[in-house]
Copies of this chain bind each other. A is one copy, B any other.
Amino acid sequence: MNEPIRLAVSTVILALHPDPETGALVLRTPLVRRQREPFLDSWALPGGWVHPDESLEASAATSLLDTTGVRPRYLEQLYAFGDVDRAPSRVVSIVYWALVGGRETIAVPDDFNVRWFRVDDRPRLAFDHDRILEYALWRLRNKVSYSRIAQGFLPERFTLAELRAAHEAVLGRPLDPANFRRQIAGTDQVLPTDAMSTGGRHRPARLYRTNPALGFADNGPLSPR
């Protein structure tokens, strides 16, 4: 009766994909189909057990790579969930959340066992994973407004309009282009390049890149290793 507590890691993986119809960016997350009871055939967050010789963050990165085949642009611990009754046996889950670029994931696993869902139009998840996903989205929406986190969704070079579209997709409301430009370009959080985005039927837009000297967020005394 005194079995040891088992330690799991789960990861909320988030990407922005253009809607095939409207072209607007939507937040999507990959979920995995459960292969056993409980919650057989339900969708759940990707994850796995923590191995004795693997750090928590490494475990999260591993489950992420197994599910999506890509490496995260940003990875942060979200919370440790440990209520006694959250699963039939006692499992404590350390949950991470990650951002991955949209391009890299557009062609990756989307089959019977792994599927990308819109976060605002998803099935009911196994265990307490709905609550976990909601919390991750809350953190993301908060963090977008006071950090450079949204750059984690974008490719290496991007226009300010693309960055603004990412913010708008996360926040769910339009932002003033003029003011957004000043708030971003007025700081050193992005660096202008010499290249311009051409091809649209309008004036070309300057391409920017993320400032490599800065992290996407300030985690205080917790350096990423």
Q: Name A residues whose Cβ lies closer than 8 Å to a Cβ of B.
A: 2-7, 50, 52-57, 77, 79-80, 82-84, 90, 92, 94, 131, 134-135, 138-139, 142, 220-222
How many copies of the shown chain assemble into the complex? 2
**Closest chain B residue to A6, Cβ basis:** B4
Given A5-B50, A50-B5, A50-B92; A139-B220 close (CB under 8 Å): yes
Can you list 12 A-B pairs, Cβ within 8 angstroms, ordered by A?
A4-B6, A4-B52, A5-B7, A50-B82, A50-B92, A55-B84, A56-B80, A80-B94, A131-B222, A135-B222, A138-B221, A139-B220
Instruction: Give every chain B residue within 8 A of A5 (Cβ-Cβ).
Output: 7, 50, 52
**Closest chain B residue to A136, Cβ basis:** B221
Given A4-B4, A50-B5, A138-B221; A56-B79 close (CB under 8 Å): no
Rounded to whole angstroms, the CA-CA distance of A8 and B185 in the bound complex is: 45
A96 to chain B, nearest CB (A): 10
Rounded to whole angstroms, the CA-CA distance of A134 and B79 in the bound complex is: 19
**Closest chain B residue to A137, Cβ basis:** B221
Q: Which of A53, A80, A94, A135 has the most CB of B within 10 A?
A: A80
Q: Which of A52, A82, A83, A90 has the most CB of B within 10 A?
A: A82
Instruction: Give every chain B residue within 8 A of A83 (Cβ-Cβ).
Output: 55-56
Given A82-B94, A94-B82; A3-B52 close (CB under 8 Å): yes
Does A221 contact B92, Cβ atoms closer than 8 Å? Answer: no
A69 to chain B, nearest CB (A): 25
**Closest chain B residue to A130, Cβ basis:** B221
Instruction: Give every chain B residue within 8 A of A54 (Cβ-Cβ).
Output: 84
Rounded to whole angstroms, the CA-CA distance of A168 and B77 in the bound complex is: 30
Does B94 contact A135, Cβ atoms closer than 8 Å? Answer: no
Instruction: Give every chain B residue within 8 A of A92 (Cβ-Cβ).
Output: 7, 50, 56, 94
**Closest chain B residue to A132, Cβ basis:** B221
Instruction: Give every chain B residue within 8 A of A77 (Cβ-Cβ).
Output: 79-80
A178 to chain B, nearest CB (A): 28
Instruction: Give every chain B residue within 8 A of A4 (Cβ-Cβ).
Output: 4, 6, 52
A147 to chain B, nearest CB (A): 13
